[in-house]
A and B are shown apart, each in its own frame.
Chain A
């Protein structure tokens, strides 16, 4: 967000002048005149692009801006542009849950734009990708990716947590090479803490 009413930026094309769309127009014009006056020589013969941010100028306002520029010798207005409208802030959408009632086997890949709940095992060589959370009511021995769309608060829970790889929002952890034995029994949760995946028993995670 621009804090000043007017901002100058030099580019190869010339000087870009950004008119802050959150400031009242008369104040912007005032500030523009002031800034131009304070560095009159700098603008001599300059090619200028005016960016009005999100604001659409009326014909009258355009006339005002160009009349301000005309007071300076050689300043050439080459273009008047408007920033692209910003996408409205994403509204978090309701996530659905996909319930799988059989084991997910080697070679099977499963993607769901919400949560995935598996009633059974996820075997080595199987892969689950969810934009939400992954919950395995059995042994997780394959690959699980939660928060696929980038949700860093997503988690993976399994009754027996022994994944070959687990990812959350694109951050990956894999099983250490020296870990031959299966994970201990009891549900565990994998989630992000300080940008790293941490796996811990569910109970501890809840009471903390």
Chain B
């Protein structure tokens, strides 16, 4: 039986859906059977990130209300055949399903997939409770900002209260140059405060916006920093020991030139 992992953050706009799409593609590219579940009912986005919008026929609420089976509602990815998506409903809201129904659904999907990734809505109300109901583990996505870290702390407290097993952290949108200037929270300070395991660090990358708009997960793109980061996280989820890339390491042309000549650090 597979593992159900909820991707959550408390605060909106920190990259939950991006993370879900990219880890899903990353794990599937490593040969895992992966089901993505868009638990953000009413604000259906995950299908856009995956470029699968036109293929959506049934959604999560249809399954819960018995209009179809979960297997029929799944949308198969166009790139990876072992990756599927259970889309959310756009015209309904979070009250259309209950935590108990979600739990049951996730339990059934887990029987046939190695990973069930649940994309959680922002906030800590009903939608959040639905999304975490069936989860065995949680990934908390945080941006290196005070408000994001504060909300993540609150969410971790709620996850702990629900006795969700492994809770790990992804720091998303790190701007190495700002950290260097001391204008952004350092990774160490975030991890110290939240006191959970660090799963990965994803640097800010304009390519993510381009990739999302095109509906192509960036983790499948070999030439981007963010894609590399998501691939590394996917491998860590499988238990591989991958060292963290030091994104603070300046990678500009000038610094590479300096390195070449053995000047500087």
Contacts and interface: CB of A to CB of B under 8 A. Distances in A.
A123 B160 contact: no
A82 interface: no
Contact of A106 (B150, B160, B195): B150
Interface string A90-123: 0000000000001101111000000000001101
Contacts of A120: 195
A73 B151 CA distance: 80
B193 interface: yes
Tell me what chain A mostly uses at the interface: helix, strand, loop, or mixed: loop
B47 interface: no
A124 interface: yes
B157 interface: yes
A61 to B, nearest CB: 65
Max chain B CB contacts within 10 Å: which of A103, A106, A120, A124?
Answer: A106
Contacts of A108: 157
Determine chain B's interface SS by DSSP, over half rule: helix
Interface string B145-159: 000001101101110
Contacts of A124: 150, 153
A107 B193 contact: no
Contacts of A102: 160
Contacts of A103: 195
B154 A121 contact: no
A125 to B, nearest CB: 6
A105 B161 CA distance: 11
Contact of A125 (B153, B160, B195): B153
Nearest to A182: B189
Contacts of A106: 150-151, 153-154, 157
A102 B160 CA distance: 10
Interface string B110-151: 000000000000000000000000000000000000000011
A141 B153 CA distance: 13
Given A121-B193, A121-B195, A123-B193, A107 B154 contact: yes
Nearest to B159: A105
Contacts of A121: 193, 195
Contacts of B154: 105-107, 125
Contacts of B158: 107
Contacts of B157: 105-108
Nearest to B195: A103
Contacts of B160: 102, 105
Interface of B: 150-151, 153-154, 156-158, 160, 193, 195
24 contacts: A102-B160, A105-B153, A105-B154, A105-B156, A105-B157, A105-B160, A106-B151, A106-B153, A106-B154, A107-B153, A107-B154, A107-B157, A107-B158, A108-B157, A121-B193, A121-B195, A123-B153, A123-B193, A124-B150, A124-B153, A125-B150, A125-B153, A125-B154, A141-B193
Given A105-B156, A107-B154, 20 more contacts: A102-B160, A105-B153, A105-B154, A105-B157, A105-B160, A106-B150, A106-B151, A106-B153, A106-B157, A107-B153, A107-B157, A107-B158, A120-B195, A121-B193, A123-B153, A123-B193, A125-B150, A125-B153, A125-B154, A141-B193
